[in-house]
Chains A and B, each alone.
Chain A
Amino acid sequence: MDQKELHALEAQCTQEHAPPCTAACPIHVDVRGMLAAVAADHFDAALALLTKRLPFPGIIGRVCEQPCRAACNRKDLGDALMIAALERACAAYGAPPPPKRRLPGRGKRIAVVGGGLSGVTVAHDLARKGHRVTLFEATERLGGTLWETSEDVLPRDLLTGELTQALSDGVEVKLNTPVTTALLDALHADFDAVYLGVGQGPKADFARELLAGVAPDTFTTPREGVFAAGRAIAARPTFIESISTGQRAAISIDRYLQRVSLTASREHEGAYITQLYTNLGGIAPVPVIRPTAPAAGYTRAEAVQEAQRCLQCECLECVKACAYLQHYGSYPKQYVRQIYNNLSIVMGTRQFNTLINSCSLCGLCGEICPYDLNMATICHEARQTMVAQDRMPPSAHEFALRDMAFSNGAAARLARPAPGSERCDYIFFPGCQLSASAPEHVERAYADLREMLPNVGLLLGCCGAPANWAGRSDLFAEAQAAFRADYAALGGGQVILACSTCYQMFKTHLPDVPALSLWELFSEHGLPPSAAAPRSLPGPLAVHDPCTTRHESAIHESVRQLLREMGLRIEELPFNRERTECCSYGGLMWLANREVAETVVQRRIAEQPLDYVTYCAMCRDFFADRQKPTLHLLDILYEDDLTARAMRPGPRFSQRHDNRARLKRRLLTELWEEPMSEPPAIPIQLLLSEEVAARVEKRLILEEDIREVIAYAERTGNRFHNPQTGHFLASHRPANVTYWVEYTPVDDGYQIHNAYSHRMEIVMQPEKAE
């Protein structure tokens, strides 16, 4: 990711864009912030926010034309917020914040012609910036067209009070001083800049030519050093526009005096339409609160009540949908920057490694985001970068990579054409996790496929997804090369996939290999011959689509069709099909961040009280392990006792290895009548209590690791002994991890009491005794 890509990605997330009210407000009052403060009865804070943008809250609170209301997201849900009335309440109940200090004097003199809203605004803004301002007003009072507002609405003392107050610091006001063409020439010669806020009608005649040539973004006139805004040039002659154009003209004048660009970075001045998306689904209408005494405006309590109707518009759509995005307390715009910074660190702590490694790469966010920002792509690329930089924490994915190596190693990998055939029309690739979780179903499906189709070969192994998820392009390429080699040796054919992750990997990375899912095949060719006879079926099940099928609507359809064909009633989860959620196995989230993964899976299983049915072995095992009865589609095809089957916990990691190895051994001997050339695992019988087995599993220690420690300790005699308990304690470091095992030899093997591990290595041995 370079700077440019970073900015492009940041721009895709609009969470920080203004809410519609603020964008539609010509002076961009922070309406949302102000209303949050009012809703909490914090009027001082609300007024402080308001006066940041608006020097005359009392006046505007009474006369504003409120273009913001037309944009308010509440408008069809009980009517738009009464924003001006709430501003008036802020002015009434909030303590005015201490006046902002003027910048130190800068010796420039500015003449402001016209004491209407725009002129007063310009004078006020430029005085605050440290300029010396003289305001010339033709009549005997400030306020211009404000005086056309009825006195009931706009009390005169308030009108003069706020305007005078705004000019109290650094502005010399000359009333009864009409400006003529001659005087304008004199001002132009005398002052560093002139502002014309002369309004409409005959009084503006002297400046007609200048006004006709005003530039709409910078408010310059054809005459250098003369600027004009306000009603005189307004497309929409409103009070709030006069303040807005006045403020922007003041910016131009200040820049002109500093001799900097008048045009640079002035986008989003004045009213615009925000890109912020706010989901209004499920929001109940709440009727607008009207002041009981309209002339007096809201009471404090009424204002609070009305402000509470504000929706506090924001996006966060993806964050609401993803427990991972929620976990880190922010949103993608921030995450993208954090990831970018993390990748750029040369020295120091890379505190966002875990954030990068915790995404399940499921892509739901990209599906949900109105601007298609997909954290999966970003996190996946970041992982590849980390690996390339040699900065990937070794512990992050090692366990899964070992698991993959096992599946593709001699003990579990197998590639054969159908028994008795030479060539393959089809190749069944069940995937490593189905072979680990339900090897008997792999066998049965393979038998069915051979009955249904000619020349169905078999390929047991892993598609390489763990390496892909871990950002290990090298290992992923290796896994694919292994597949290609076997595929070529089998003579090609159509690949039948039973795992949706394999399917995704094949489709994306082996697009030239013809592949289809087992579910599509069954739904086209009819139920497999060995499918279970009609039996008592469970009540309705909710379908969980594995996240790797997100864009596979054909698979979604086939699965539903199969389920119906089997006589099942199904219901849909609120997040399904292209909006489905990950079970937490995806992207190796479960390994990189167990806390987030647990939240993710718990959230998913709580979405529906019904039992689930799915078609990914990992999803099924993850759910069932957390006491959510879940069936695999193959369970429904092949099992009789579905109630028991749905509760079956997934096999432990060690068992998963054994299952794969046994599957290979059995198929080899039974179908191909070949002996297995690879020796079985170290023949050491282990006895583990449930409790120890669970602890060891959590620590990602496999029984094969334990066997190696014991074999090593027994061979070398390197072990400790506890004379009280009779236990032995020994360690061994086959590769990057040192495993410790506490055990007792018993008749038929070894009783395991405990096991733990560490990655640190002893580099300096203790001195040897003399």
Chain B
Amino acid sequence: MSDVPLSEAPPPWTCARCGEPLTLGEIEVAYLGSAFPVKLWHCKRCRLVLIPEELAQGRMLEVEKMLEDK
């Protein structure tokens, strides 16, 4: 899923707890035993990760469906 063309523009979100702007970094997501690296925005301090709607309802959903048929 690392081929997901995520917009590199920082999202409008900040970490509500730390008040920090988010940073982009590689994070691993998994489903049904398959793991994928994906670049996601997150809070560097408390490690809260943002999964944006476009990703969840788009590419992620596709990959989920694909893995379910494996």
Chain A residues at the B interface, C-beta cutoff of 8 Å: 348-351, 353-354, 393-396, 699, 717-725, 728-729, 731, 738, 740, 754, 756-769
Contact = CB atoms under 8 A, between A and B. Distances in A.
B64 A395 contact: yes
Contact of A758 (B47, B48, B56): B56
Given A720-B15, A721-B13, A740-B56, A765 B49 contact: yes
Contacts of A738: 51
B53 A740 contact: yes
B16 A717 contact: yes
Nearest to B24: A766
Given A395-B64, A725-B12, A768-B47, A763 B57 contact: no
Contacts of B66: 349
Contact of B31 (A720, A723, A759): A759
A766 B56 contact: no
Interface string B28-70: 1111100100001010111111110101110011011110111
B2 to A, nearest CB: 13
A717 B13 CA distance: 15
B51 A740 contact: yes
A766 B47 contact: yes
B49 to A, nearest CB: 6
Contacts of B61: 758
A513 B12 CA distance: 60
Contacts of A763: 28-30, 35
Contacts of B32: 394
A155 to B, nearest CB: 63
Contacts of A769: 44-45
Given A718-B17, A720-B13, A722-B13, A764 B28 contact: yes
Interface of B: 12-17, 22, 25-32, 35, 40, 42, 44-51, 53, 55-57, 60-61, 63-66, 68-70
Contacts of B16: 717, 719-721, 728
B53 A760 contact: no
B51 A353 contact: no
A68 B61 CA distance: 55
Nearest to B64: A759
A209 to B, nearest CB: 67
Nearest to B17: A717
Given A721-B13, A769-B44, A758 B60 contact: yes
B17 to A, nearest CB: 5
Contacts of B28: 762-764
A393 B69 contact: yes
Nearest to A713: B16
Contact of A394 (B50, B53, B68): B68
Given A721-B14, A740-B56, 7 more contacts: A353-B68, A393-B68, A721-B13, A722-B13, A754-B53, A762-B27, A762-B28
B31 A760 contact: yes
A762 B50 contact: no
A757 B56 contact: yes
20 contacts: A351-B69, A395-B64, A718-B17, A719-B16, A719-B48, A720-B15, A722-B14, A729-B50, A740-B56, A756-B57, A759-B31, A760-B31, A761-B30, A763-B28, A765-B47, A766-B40, A766-B49, A768-B44, A769-B44, A769-B45
A701 to B, nearest CB: 11
Contacts of A731: 51
Given A721-B15, A729-B13, A754-B53, A760 B60 contact: yes
Contacts of B64: 395, 758-760
A109 B32 CA distance: 66
Contacts of B63: 760
Given A720-B16, A728-B16, A767 B25 contact: yes
A767 B69 CA distance: 33
Nearest to B31: A760
B68 A766 contact: no
Contacts of A761: 29-31
A394 B33 CA distance: 13
A720 B68 contact: no
A742 to B, nearest CB: 8
Quick one: which of B35, B45, B66, B69 has the most chain A CB within 10 A? B69
Given A393-B68, A395-B68, A740-B53, A765 B27 contact: yes
A372 B57 CA distance: 42
A766 B17 contact: no
A710 to B, nearest CB: 13
Given A717-B16, A720-B48, A764 B60 contact: no
A760 B13 contact: no
Given A393-B68, A725-B12, A761-B29, A720 B60 contact: no
A769 B42 CA distance: 11
A348 B55 CA distance: 25
B44 A766 contact: yes
A348 B66 CA distance: 11
